[in-house]
Amino acid sequence: MNNTELTTWQTFKATLEKYPSLTLQFQYAEGKWVDASYHITEIKQAPIISVV
């Protein structure tokens, strides 16, 4: 899966509403899926620099 197109929240939500019987799954690498126990705000694919 290599979709790099940006979308708006409205478009994303409208697409989800078209397919209420399907399960939404997020893939972060080939063959690697985000566990259902994660909240969408916990999914990041970027280095995080912080001050400790």
Q: Tell me: pLDDT of 12 over 60.
A: yes
Backbone angles phi, psi at 46, to 5 degrees: -155, 150
- CA neighbor of 44 nearest in space, from 36, 34, 30, 31: 34
Domains held by the chain: number: 1
Angle at 10 between CA 5 and CA 13, to 5 degrees: 90
pTM: 0.51
Name the 3-class secondary structure at 41: helix
Range of the domain at 33: 1-52
Which amino acid, 11?
A: T
Q: Tell me: pLDDT of 19 over 90.
A: yes
Q: Are 25 and 34 in contact (CB under 8 A)?
A: yes
d(CA 4, CA 17): 22
